A and B are shown apart, each in its own frame.
Chain A
């Protein structure tokens, strides 16, 4: 086995190879990851160039009862909603908020939950017990209820919404990260790192986390979707994005009543969410494999 792999790398090495470049090279080989990247890139473009694509005031916000519930056509590519607003325009502007809320709230949950989980898993014992039991209490409360409570306490705003969704996801992330850390921390290379004088935080950041990436990445991409949905639910009960600000989740929620005759009202925002989640998942899967040097 070894000699075969060796011969592939016979080129006399005088330079160190760059890890980031390696990861990119491996990622590039995965068609699905590239598809995901392209999709996300399109969404990002929509978000950035929204003003060039649609008129915020007139198309996305202004009610226009005459044109309500129009089917998709040349004037309104995706049709209009119950208030006569252009669904395409709303989706384009919604990208800004939904992507932002989804990614930021997951980042909050990942950072805080991840840190707690890593500490609990790495140190174990009492520290583990205290952290995990406390989080268990949080976990016992349904995520959405928890988020409602937090927004209600902080006041409704986009920022508070992200904080609420983020915090309510902390226990989930802590669990996943802790489990991943537990499976790594007893391996001998961790001990080897300690033997050369690494401090705990270096060990966690440099050795433990990179080796426990796979489940964390998969979990995070899934959670972006549920964060977008949670945002929608909160918006629906008036605690999130205030109408008429366009946001995919609330578009979906608002169109519920018309689903029978005007399916497209929910179809397009739904599709936008599904595509975002799908592309994030594809990227996540690709990244997970690309980060693992064992998979060529």
Chain B
């Protein structure tokens, strides 16, 4: 390991709305090592996007409010920076790719100009030089430089996503946050884009946070995995630890919900019920009413972190007393 790029401590974010307070993120710690990829996994509404936006200090305020938290990016404490400095950091030190490639590009600007524009925000370059660099970026993501004078609608979904990646990488960020970058793409195109991202990450020696709900994607690109549920990270560890030594009942539930492509007869064991209402989280473990292992104290006491290795921890009452406990679902 070559040091930490991103360190988030005790981040809590809420949205104050007319209907009540949404506790979107409730005290999470993340750290991302140089050159490594952290997978942030969870279902809709778990707080993945909110976490990512906090790192960029882009939480819409109102209704959003960062309640607590320290964010350190490449040694800089972001929470204390004035907005003007933050603008330099976004797209420079850290870039973000959003889920929908269709809406991330301006439909009336040529793709080359859009990349050049992003470059000029952070680097003092002439228009010619910026365009030259834009062309290189486009070629780097596998699109012929000659197509830089075309408009987004002339590109397919996968190509658009590659342009978005080119823009995000144009200033060689230290950290790339990708929010479901391939969800809107087809399988074969997804494979292309993931391959490209892996390759570029190596080449640019960049760290990455990959937000996704697809454990298949995680298995392919991530080094570490954080499983998010109702605004908490309920289990975190290396890829190997999460996949082969699953500890949290929710993580196990996720694995058992996915149809196994190599065994078509395997039965699906869905997690019952729905994620707790973020307006009104239960006092104990948020997963309590869906958990097959729930005990009395799960309903009343928040579980503490239990470490299995320096990297691997879970938040679950099953373990503090009995570290040997085995989940029964055949996983782990």
Contacts and interface: CB of A to CB of B under 8 A. Distances in A.
A13 to B, nearest CB: 20
A2 interface: yes
Nearest to B18: A296
Contacts of A3: 274, 276-277, 280
Interface string A1-17: 11110000000000000
Interface string B257-276: 00000000000000000101
Interface string B275-297: 01111100000000000000000
Q: How large is the interface on B (under 10, 10 to 19, 20 to 34, 35 or more residues)?
A: under 10
Contacts of B19: 4
A1 B18 CA distance: 13
Interface residues of A, number: 4
Interface in A1-37: 1-4
A3 B278 CA distance: 9
A136 B216 CA distance: 56
B20 A4 contact: yes
A4 B279 contact: yes
A214 to B, nearest CB: 21
Interface in B30-53: 45
Nearest to A296: B19
A3 B280 CA distance: 9
A2 B280 contact: no
B20 A2 contact: no
A4 B279 CA distance: 7
A3 B281 CA distance: 11
Contacts of A2: 274, 277
A90 B45 CA distance: 63
Contacts of A4: 19-20, 277, 279-280
A110 B277 CA distance: 44
A2 B276 CA distance: 9
A4 B276 CA distance: 9
B287 to A, nearest CB: 14
Contacts of B20: 4
B86 to A, nearest CB: 31
A269 B277 CA distance: 56
B81 to A, nearest CB: 33
Contacts of B45: 1
A1 B45 CA distance: 10
A1 B17 CA distance: 12
A205 B20 CA distance: 37
Contacts of A1: 45, 277-279
A238 B274 CA distance: 70
A2 B274 CA distance: 9
A5 to B, nearest CB: 9
B290 to A, nearest CB: 12
A1 B278 CA distance: 7
Nearest to B289: A3
A213 B279 CA distance: 32
Interface in A178-197: none
Nearest to A3: B277
A1 to B, nearest CB: 7
Contacts of B277: 1-4
Contacts of B279: 1, 4
Interface string B194-214: 000000000000000000000
B222 to A, nearest CB: 29
A4 B280 CA distance: 8
Nearest to A6: B277
Nearest to B275: A3
A293 to B, nearest CB: 16
A1 B279 CA distance: 7
Nearest to A1: B277
B44 to A, nearest CB: 10
A222 to B, nearest CB: 29
15 contacts: A1-B45, A1-B277, A1-B278, A1-B279, A2-B274, A2-B277, A3-B274, A3-B276, A3-B277, A3-B280, A4-B19, A4-B20, A4-B277, A4-B279, A4-B280
The 8 tightest CB contacts between A and B, nearest first, are A3-B277, A4-B277, A4-B279, A4-B280, A2-B274, A3-B274, A1-B277, A3-B276
Given A1-B45, A1-B277, A2-B277, 11 more contacts: A1-B278, A1-B279, A2-B274, A3-B276, A3-B277, A3-B280, A4-B19, A4-B20, A4-B277, A4-B279, A4-B280
Interface of B: 19-20, 45, 274, 276-280
